[in-house]
Amino acid sequence: MRPKVFLSSTFSDLVALRASVATSLEYWGYEPIFFESDNFPKKPNLRADDMCLEAVKQCHLFLLAIDKNYGSPYKGEDRSLYGISVTEAEAKVAFECHKEVFSFVRRNTWEQWKVYGRDKKYKSPDVEPRVFEFIDWVIDQRRDNWIDAFHDVEELKRKLRPPSATE
């Protein structure tokens, strides 16, 4: 059985990134799980938001990619997750379920987050303000709170590539 990796990010802006990373993960022997994939475990009688959370629980690893968009609000059954994005809800479930978490932030967003860290009143011209709070939340976790920055999908894949893998 191949280890399952849940790919979490906002949908519209990072769909191509997820598809490219998924192809590499498959090549390296993993089973990528992401919302728009053919193998995404759809379950009857659940909202799409909750299907994502259930899929996170079934995965071995959790890969989080953050860019400038915060994401759609969670509207599932768990009212304690109301007020946050689906992506942040997925991350919360991954941490609560003690999944191994790998978090990456696009370099431009990461650099702006550093400015925000020095001045909480900072308003980015292109990054949604809640993204900075989400990054803070990930860093505040008790484990797996390391975040790495990436410039483009190729750099991200280089950082993810297992030591024994070849391209």
**Which residues lie closer than 8 Å to 90 by C-beta, 6 or more apart?**
6, 8, 52, 53, 56, 62, 64
Residue 92 forms part of a structural domain: yes
How far is 16 from 10, CA to CA, in rounded Å? Answer: 11
Range of the domain at 99: 4-160
User: How many domains does the chain divide into?
Assistant: 1
* Dihedral sign, Cα of residue 69, residue 7, residue 135, residue 81: positive
Residue 165 lies in a domain: no
- Per-residue pLDDT for 167 more than 60? no
CATH code at position 66: 3.40.50.450
40 assigned to some structural domain: yes
Beta bridge partners of 110: none
pTM: 0.95
- Per-residue confidence band for 139, with pLDDT thresholds at 50, 70 and 90: very high
Has residue 166 been placed in a domain? no
Over the stretch 10-55, which tens digit does the pLDDT of each residue have?
988 999 999 999 999 999 999 999 999 999 999 999 999 999 999 9
Residue 155 domain flag: yes
